[in-house]
C-alpha cells in the first residue's frame, strides 16, 4: 500500500542520470531521524537541502537499514496555525480552540507531531492533564493517514462559512 511521508532533504548521496530522468539516493530528516530516501526524478527536478517534501512511495530496507523509496514527491508547505488549531480542537476530546491555540503557541508547526509522540511534554508545557494528552495522542495516531489534507482543508475553508463537520 502506498504511503506518504514528509521529510526535510539533507543531502544527495548518489545520482545516476539518463536521457529522460535521474535516479537519486539521498538523506532526509524524517521526524528527527536521518534515513535514506531514493527514487526517480523527472527531467529538471531537483531537491534543495533544507526544504521539506511530501514523498509518496513505500518503506523499504537497504543493507539492513530502514529507508523510503518514492515514486513521486511535491514540496511541502507548512500548515497554517488556523488549520492545525481547528484540527486539534475537532479531533481531540476535551481540547477546545483556546487550548489548541496554547499548544500551537508552544510547539508551532510541530504541534501535531509533538501531541502524537510526546504527550507528556504537551501536558507539562501547556498545563493539560496527562490523561487528556494521552487520549489525544492515541486519536491523532489513528487518523494520521489523512492529517495533512484535512489540516489543509480546514485552513482553506476557514472563514468561508463552510461547516467544518463536512470535513471527515
State the pLDDT at residue 162.
65
**Predicted pLDDT of residue 9:** 93
pLDDT at 31: 76
Q: Is the pTM here over 0.75, yes or no? A: no
Residue-wise burial string across 67-94, b where 16 or more C-beta atoms lie within 10 A, e elsewhere: bbbbeebeebeebbbbbbbbbbbebbee
pLDDT at 150: 77
Give the model's pLDDT for residue 166. Answer: 59
Distance, CA of 145 to CA of 150 (rounded, Å): 10
pLDDT number for residue 130: 95
pLDDT value of residue 21: 80
Q: What is the DSSP string of 11-55?
A: EEEEEEE-SSEEEEEEEEEETTEEEEEEEEEETT----TT-EEEE
Residue numbers of the chain with a pLDDT score lower than 50: none
Amino acid at each position: 500500500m502506498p504511503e506518504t511521508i514528509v521529510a526535510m532533504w539533507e543531502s544527495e548521496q548518489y545520482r545516476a542520470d539518463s536521457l529522460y530522468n535521474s535516479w537519486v539516493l539521498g538523506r532526509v530528516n524524517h521526524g528527527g531521524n536521518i534515513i535514506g530516501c531514493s527514487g526517480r526524478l523527472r527531467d529538471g527536478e531537483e531537491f534543495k537541502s533544507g526544504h521539506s517534501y511530501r514523498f509518496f512511495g513505500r518503506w523499504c530496507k537497504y543493507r539492513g537499514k530502514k529507508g523510503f523509496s518514492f515514486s513521486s514527491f511535491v514540496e511541502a508547505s507548512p500548515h497554517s496555525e488556523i488549520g492545525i488549531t481547528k484540527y486539534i480542537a475537532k479531533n481531540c476530546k476535551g481540547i477546545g480552540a483556546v487550548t489548541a491555540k496554547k499548544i500551537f503557541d508552544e510547539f508551532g508547526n510541530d504541534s501535531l507531531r509533538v501531541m502524537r509522540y510526546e504527550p507528556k511534554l504537551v501536558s507539562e508545557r501547556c498545563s493539560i492533564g496527562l490523561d487528556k494528552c494521552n487520549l489525544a495522542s492515541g486519536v491523532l495516531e489513528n487518523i494520521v493517514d489523512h492529517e495533512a489534507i484535512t489540516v489543509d482543508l480546514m485552513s482553506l475553508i476557514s472563514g468561508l462559512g463552510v461547516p467544518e463537520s463536512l470535513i471527515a
